[in-house]
Structure 1
Amino acid sequence: MVIILHRQRYGYDVLIHTNDHPPPHVHVRKGNQHVRVYLYTLRITMNYGFSNRELRKIRQLIRDNHGAIIFEWERIHGKIM
């Protein structure tokens, strides 16, 4: 697992697992809370503990850093088709 954004806005860690699978997505954690977010649709899956308000903040964080996150996904997993 690679932390690509550590304790960013609102204290979230944004992670990419090195042995993960397509489609491109990140895992966001804060304390015991965890969510998976697909990068191109910003679809939320596997939400464990985040409120709707927090999910909006997480989506915005990913939008604001989308280019850097995609760069890291491709560095770890190869070019996205």
Structure 2
Amino acid sequence: MVIVYREYGLSVAIFLNDHEPPHVHVFGDRHAKIGLAGADGRPYLISHYKMKRNDVRRAIAIVNEHQIFLLAKWRDFHG
């Protein structure tokens, strides 16, 4: 796991031995998994584990704002 971005007490990580579709894991008080590009091209929530609703919204906003950077990082690690 590599932390690629931090903001608002949340850490955005990419697992090195992970699978498609491109996604990130966001850790705060708990964990959320966010897809980097859905059918409409925007990030989307895949799942979360007891993460506060406000933190989930903040995590999605962070991924949306940094989507191009995060997709580039995903491709750096996964080809």
- Per the normalisation by structure 2, the TM-score is 0.86
**Which residue of structure 2 aligns with residue 20 of structure 1?**
18
Residues 26-72 of structure 1 deviation map (CA, whole Å, 9 limit, x = unaligned) = 000014x0111111133323311212222111111001111110110
How many residues get paired? 75
Alignment root-mean-square deviation, CA: 1.2
Alpha-carbon separation, structure 1, partners of 2:34 and 2:77:
17
Structure possessing the higher relative contact order (Cα contacts under 8 Å, 6 or more residues apart)? 2
- SS of corresponding position for 2:57: helix
**Which residue of structure 2 aligns with residue 73 of structure 1?**
74
Report the AA paired with residue 26 of structure 1: V
Alpha-carbon separation, structure 2, partners of 1:18 and 1:71:
14
**Which residue of structure 2 aligns with residue 4 of structure 1?**
4
Determine what percentage of the aligned residue pairs are the same residue: 31
Runs of 4+ that moved beyond 3 A: none
Structure 2 unaligned regions, length at least 5: none
**Which residue of structure 2 aligns with residue 38 of structure 1?**
35
Report the AA paired with residue 74 of structure 2: W
- Per the normalisation by structure 1, the TM-score is 0.84
Report the AA paired with residue 14 of structure 1: V
Structure 1 unaligned regions, length at least 5: none
**Which residue of structure 2 aligns with residue 58 of structure 1?**
59
